[in-house]
Structure 1
Amino acid sequence: MTPRQRVFDAHAHLAPGPEAVARLIETMDRCRIDRAVVVAGGAITPDQLSRQLIEGGYVATDADNDAVLAGCDRSGGRLVPFFFANPHRGGADYRAHGRHFRGLKLAPSVHGVGLLDERTIALVEQAEGFGHGVYLHCVQRPGFGVAALVTLAERFPAVEFVLGHAGVGDLDLYGIDLIKPRPNVVFETSGGFTFVVKTALDRLGADRVLFGTEYPLQHPDVELAKYRVLDLSEDDWRRVAWQNTCRLTGETDG
């Protein structure tokens, strides 16, 4: 891995507030990250999300997709917007505005709607129509786990799905094995152990692993350090850090 290669963060959040874009761009500059996929932050507090991850539950709060779109417009092309859908709305807002975005973000642990729920399926159908990839989290709960994601991906083979945050928990080697037969599911590594990242690269190949940061909950330097110690070849790092996210967002590899 060489620091001169371009880096495209596959998953960051744009926090609420007028200075959010400037703070994110400043952090990207310090960390030598060229571009980032961004979704809205602030739909749920970290404390409430922590509780819901363990106990279940949901919020029906909308994310501020308008602020994300406006922030990306001001970024000079460095920020790429994904639409953070609220399944409780029935998909009307995504249907109306999805063409302005480059992908779809689903958060079952936030909104409490399972991956095989008809509301989720309706949103993925819309994503397929827009030509969007779908980024989502899984949790270990019936209908919310990696097995449900695989079933969803089988139903929509033309949609690229991203299993976010290195799967479920700290050591989701099983999740890696579950998605391996589904070529339209890729693995984003923010928050994951270095060992899990290495296992994903070995079992899935560099074409199915994406570098992401989960900014601002995680500092990008922490995620970059994980890859530095793995000492990837230049070609593998180019795929993980740039080409795969270009493919996900429909960007040219230029």
Structure 2
Amino acid sequence: MDRKPVFDFHARLAPRPGAYEKMLAAMDSAGIGRAVISSGGVVDLDTLAKQIMVGGHVRGDADNDAVLAAGTRSGGRLVPFFFANPHRDPQYYRERAPEFRGLELSPAVHGVPLTDERTVALVEIAAEVGHSVYVVCLGAPGFTAGDLAVLAEKFPDVTFVLGHCGFVGVDLYSLNRITPRSNVFTEISGCYTEVARAAVDRLGAGRVLFGTEYPLQHPDVELAKVRALQLDPESLHEVIRGNAHRILGEES
């Protein structure tokens, strides 16, 4: 893999003392130059796992203030995304949007379908302020990559990112659902190597983003997966940094 710094499009700032310092140390060790960060710890992992498998939700807010503070403290190395709570009045996101660089929606956490008017209201604001929208999909109706594709069709000028290549590690089905929608990218943390390879083959390298899901996943694991893909230099550049810069409106 080339020696230029990698851009991680999906990491989380854990809500615990020393999380900022540990994140930067992990990035330094792995050769990651910058990272898009969202809040972690909205719900504990056991509860989240149960919600993913059998349903349920929480109504609490993410610690977006801590994410914003980390972004400011890092001097731009950490790029803050707003983790929206659809149970809140969308006006709250509208008021905070100028402070952030993008939006995250997680039906797995808050349990609000992608087809719900509350989700649509948040995406409308993202469209107004020029934010991309990172989404973690599930397998239940209303929460799927197919529902994301329908949402993306309604908002063709918004860039959406399907987290983790879909719902489970071998989710080629979700990749197929988003392939026709050119404004939907995918981020490959947590998926199998062959699914990441399929993402590049089916969507093209220009729609695939490297991510780590740090701290739940060690960055070296995801970097090893990218190396195993043996991408040509141009495709590798797109996946590990170029696409992230493009989505954020930066030169790569």
TM bin (shorter chain): over 0.9
Unaligned runs of 5+ in 1: none
The match for 2:58 is 59
Unaligned runs of 5+ in 2: none
The CA distance in 2 between the partners of 1:95 and 1:230, in whole Å, is 40
The match for 2:155 is 156
The match for 2:35 is 36
Give the 3-state SS of the residue equivalent to 2:9 in structure 1.
strand
- What pairs up with 1:106-185 in 2 under 5 angstroms? 106-185=105-184
Q: Does 1:234 align with 2:242?
A: no
The CA distance in 1 between the partners of 2:128 and 2:246, in whole Å, is 17
Following TM superposition, by how much is the alpha carbon of 1:178 offset from its aligned partner in structure 2, in angstroms? 1.2
The match for 2:209 is 210
The CA distance in 1 between the partners of 2:163 and 2:181, in whole Å, is 15
The CA distance in 1 between the partners of 2:234 and 2:4, in whole Å, is 10
The CA distance in 1 between the partners of 2:22 and 2:140, in whole Å, is 35
Aligned residue identity for 2:64: N
- What pairs up with 1:3-22 in 2 under 5 angstroms? 4-22=3-21
- What pairs up with 1:58-77 in 2 under 5 angstroms? 58-77=57-76
Question: Would you say the 8 A contact 1:153–1:161 is kept in 2?
Answer: yes
Partner deviation per Cα, 1:173-214 (whole Å, 9 max, x = no partner): 121111111000001000000000001111111000000000
The CA distance in 2 between the partners of 1:55 and 1:66, in whole Å, is 31
Following TM superposition, by how much is the alpha carbon of 1:219 offset from its aligned partner in structure 2, in angstroms? 0.5
- What pairs up with 1:77-88 in 2 under 5 angstroms? 77-88=76-87
Following TM superposition, by how much is the alpha carbon of 1:5 offset from its aligned partner in structure 2, in angstroms? 2.3
Aligned residue identity for 1:200: A
The CA distance in 2 between the partners of 1:98 and 1:81, in whole Å, is 11
Give the 3-state SS of the residue equivalent to 2:164 in structure 1.
coil
Size of the aligned set, in residue pairs, is 252
Partner deviation per Cα, 1:220-254 (whole Å, 9 max, x = no partner): 0000000111111111111001111112222222x
Following TM superposition, by how much is the alpha carbon of 1:168 offset from its aligned partner in structure 2, in angstroms? 1.4
The CA distance in 1 between the partners of 2:104 and 2:47, in whole Å, is 19
The match for 2:46 is 47
The CA distance in 2 between the partners of 1:179 and 1:217, in whole Å, is 26
Following TM superposition, by how much is the alpha carbon of 1:90 offset from its aligned partner in structure 2, in angstroms? 2.1
Moved more, 123-132 or 173-182: 173-182
The match for 1:191 is 190
The CA distance in 1 between the partners of 2:67 and 2:50, in whole Å, is 26
Q: Does 1:248 align with 2:247?
A: yes
Aligned residue identity for 1:166: C
CA RMSD of aligned residues (A): 0.8
Partner deviation per Cα, 1:97-119 (whole Å, 9 max, x = no partner): 11110000000110000001000
The CA distance in 2 between the partners of 1:229 and 1:142, in whole Å, is 34
Aligned-residue sequence identity (percent) comes to 56
Partner deviation per Cα, 1:25-57 (whole Å, 9 max, x = no partner): 000000000000000111111100000001101
The match for 2:101 is 102
The match for 1:25 is 24
The CA distance in 2 between the partners of 1:32 and 1:76, in whole Å, is 18
Q: Which consecutive segments of 4 or more residues in structure 1 shift more than 3 A?
A: none
Aligned residue identity for 1:219: H
Aligned residue identity for 1:87: P
The CA distance in 1 between the partners of 2:19 and 2:71, in whole Å, is 11
The match for 1:93 is 92
Give the 3-state SS of the residue equivalent to 1:105 in structure 2.
strand
